[in-house]
């Protein structure tokens, strides 16, 4: 698809513009949001806390949902950077942000 190719190119030049557009798309289309978030989680691109934040669900509830669907639940962090990211994700959920 030419649109995806152009988004990739534009993301290199104006990452904030593309990121905001994608967040708006995910806010508008929850089915697409769910598929993108679950795919990113399964691929290891985001952790459980970030997935919960993007889905506007508590981590515990998402963990239960994943287990019910037979999907893997990765607990803990692999690195100090992941722990920091998870901490910021939890703080953003508490504040109602992304």
For the chain, residues with pLDDT lower than 50 are: none
pTM, rounded to two decimals: 0.68
Report angle CA 46, 49, 50 to the nearest 5 degrees.
45
The pLDDT value given to residue 80: 63
If you compute the radius of gyration of the chain from its CA atoms, what whole number of angstroms results? 14
For the chain, domain boundaries? 30-95
Q: Which residue from 39, 45, 49 is spatially nearest to 75, judged by alpha carbons?
A: 49
The DSSP output letter for 34 is H
Q: Is 26:36 a contact under the CB 8 Å cutoff?
A: yes
The pLDDT value given to residue 79: 59
């Amino acid at each position: 698809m030419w649109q995806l190719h152009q988004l990739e190119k534009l993301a290199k030049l104006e990452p904030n513009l593309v990121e905001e557009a994608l967040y708006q798309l995910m806010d508008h289309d929850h089915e697409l949001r769910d598929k993108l978030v679950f795919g990113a989680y399964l691929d290891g691109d985001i952790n459980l806390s970030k997935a919960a934040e993007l889905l506007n669900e508590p981590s515990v509830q998402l963990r239960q949902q994943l287990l019910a669907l037979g999907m893997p639940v990765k607990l803990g962090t692999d690195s100090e950077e992941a722990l920091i990211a998870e901490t910021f994700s939890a703080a953003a959920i508490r504040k109602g942000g992304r």
